[in-house]
Amino acid sequence: MKDTKAHILQIAFALFLQKSFKEVTMNEIVKASGLSKGAFYHYFTGKEELFKEVITHYYVELSGVGFPGMPLTSLKDFIDFYAAAVIAASETFGMGAKSKTNSINYFLHLFDAYRMLPGFKQQMLKSRQVQLDGWLKIIRIARKSGEIKTQLKDWQIAKLFVYAGDGAGLGFMLANVQENVGKEMSEAWKSIYESIKAG
């Protein structure tokens, strides 16, 4: 039962990325899922409920999920690991090099969610804080070990890494060139790293 629900979420998310929430019909989702209408409606009462579940799973739950398990051996290891995770996530989200998705829809979903789902903004702010805390933790370790040396405060560096990732992701998604997102983020993070590493 859990696998069927996950399958429906994955199908719906892929369709929402190809078109948009508004353009995708329930008939398309049911047909693409391979389920009967009765079986489908056992899991979801309609497109709005399905959209809420898709947003919760793909945007809220997965956005900060990797941070507790990130390597804390060095800032460089953290960056390398995170960049690889971004590339893997873009494939999971159906936004890899061979994807048929329109990455603009990724952002349209966010705007729809802010408008339609109470509490979504708070969930995203919490997820953002998880990211900032993850960067802050490794930056403090890197400063203490002597890996980095800079006049910038730890929280300023953490924000630089987060905002650089945001900018690279947004730029490539607006250009609908998903296959380079992870590489571009990695290069941005490595540039920041090179400017603050010791000696």
pLDDT at residue 72 greater than cutoff 60: yes
Vertex 124 angle, CA 184 and 165, to 5°: 10
pLDDT at residue 83 greater than cutoff 90: no
Within the chain, all domains assigned CATH 1.10.357 are found at: 67-199
Cβ atoms < 10 Å from Cβ of 199: 4
pLDDT tier for residue 153 given thresholds of 50, 70 and 90:
very high
pLDDT at residue 94 greater than cutoff 60: no
Place of tokens 């560096």: 157
Q: How many residues does the chain have?
A: 199
Residue type, 105: N
Vertex 187 angle, CA 180 and 146, to 5°: 150
Q: Mean of the per-residue pLDDT values for the chain? A: 83
Q: Does domain 67-199 have CATH number 1.10.357?
A: yes
Within the chain, all domains assigned CATH 1.10.10.60 are found at: 1-61
Which of residues 166 and 27 earns the better pLDDT score? Answer: 27
pLDDT tier for residue 167 given thresholds of 50, 70 and 90:
confident
Alpha carbon distance 44, 47 (integer Å) = 8
The CATH classification of domain 1-61, taken from the options 1.10.10.60, 3.40.50.920, 3.40.50.200, 3.40.50.300: 1.10.10.60
Percent of the chain with pLDDT over 70: 81
Q: Which residues of 60-69 are buried (b: 16+ CB within 10 A; e: fewer)?
A: beebbebbee
Q: Supply the pLDDT for residue 66.
A: 61
Give mean pLDDT, residues 81-95: 70
pLDDT at residue 74 greater than cutoff 90: yes
Alpha carbon distance 117, 120 (integer Å) = 6
pLDDT at residue 19 greater than cutoff 70: yes
Instruction: Give the least confident one: 70-74, 156-160, 175-179.
Output: 175-179
- The per-residue pLDDT for range 55-66, each reduced to its tens digit, is 888 777 666 556
Neighbouring residues of 156: CB distance < 8 A, sequence distance ≥ 6: none
Instruction: Give the least confident one: 63-72, 124-133, 152-161.
Output: 63-72
